[in-house]
Each structure stands twice: as C-alpha cells, then as structure tokens.
Amino acid sequence: MLFILPLLEKSGEDEVNQRRINLKINGMDHEVNVRPDEVLLDVLREKLNYTGTKRGCDGTGECGTCTVLIDGRAVYSCLFLAMDAVGKEITTIEYLAKGTGLHEIQKAFLECGAVQCGFCTPGMILTAKALLDENPEATETEIKEAIRGNLCRCTGYVKIVEAIRRAGENYGK
C-alpha cells in the first residue's frame, strides 16, 4: 500500500496533464490523449497500436528503428513530441502495403535478401521512401548517406543498398 499510493497519485497527475489532440496517420484522423512530454513513438505504439514502428534504443537517436515520415521527411519518432505532429501528415510502415500488394521498396527488400531479423526494416524502408520519393535515381553514395542513421545489426548493409537501388529503378513504373 505504501508503494501503491504514490503511484496512483502520479497516474492521476498524468491524466490531468493530458491533452486531446488529433493526429493524421496514414491518411486517417486519430483523436488521442497525450502528455506534453510524450514522444510520437510511444503514442503510435502504445496508444494507437501502430506497432510496426520499433524502439531499438533508449530513445536517444542512436538506431533509427523508430523512423516514420512526417510531411514526407524521415524523422526519429522517439525524439519527436507527439504534440508537434498535430497538423502534419504522419506515415508509418503500415501505410505502404495495399492489401496483399507490397510497395516497390518492400518487394525489392525481399528480392534482394535485405531482411534478416527484420527489426530495422520498417525504419530502413521509410528512410528509403523519403529518399526515393525525392530522387528515384539516387546513387549508391546518396543511398548510403540517407541510411547512415539507420542501424542494421544483421545484413552488413550491402543488400539493403542494393534493394534501395533496385526499388529506385522500378519507382513509379
């Protein structure tokens, strides 16, 4: 009981501090209560069930697994306040496949063997999308530069770069 009481008080405070906001995710509006200090990653995963977005580090911007697109730009959702995403277009990995039809980048990752454990893959693919949407003819150097903030512990990156190049060749065709 001695332990529970402070916890209850804290959770009550948290509720008081919450504000109701609207987030536009993958083209759909979501009403959600958030604290002012709550980051987008936690809101996506824990309140809205967009679990394709991963947490690979302590929210310190070290791994890139939490990458989502905000107005088409790749950002770390662990470092982005949910409240700052109001009025912006948020895109998560769940948006890319249409039914059973995979997005060009997803297809290329599979074809090139660029997925092993898959933990980095959602963030890597969204980073690739931000790049290819702007520049489908990105060179190997530009691809490496774009994904330098996305860590992969399994593949050695060669196949990931190859997959992004291949996706670029088929982009929009």
Q: Could you list the residues that contact ligand FES (CB under 6 A)?
A: 55-57, 59, 61-66, 76, 78, 115-120, 152-155
Q: How far is the CB of 131 from ligand FES (least distance, A)?
A: 17
Between 32 and 57, name the residue whose CB sits nearer to ligand FES: 57
Structure tokens at 26: 């993958």
CA separation, residue 37 to residues 67, 79, 131, 154 (Å): 19, 10, 29, 33
Eight-state DSSP code of residue 15: H
As a whole number of angstroms, the distance between CA 47 and CA 32 comes to: 8
**Which CB atom, from 136 or from 157, has the smaller least distance to ligand FES?**
157
Count other Cβ atoms within 10 Å, centred on residue 87.
10
| DSSP letter, residue 71 | T
Which residue, 59 or 136, is less far from ligand FES as judged by CB? 59
Nearest approach, Cβ of 57 to ligand FES (angstroms)? 3
Q: How far is the CB of 70 from ligand FES (least distance, A)?
A: 14
Q: Which is nearer to ligand FES, 33 or 116 (CB)?
A: 116
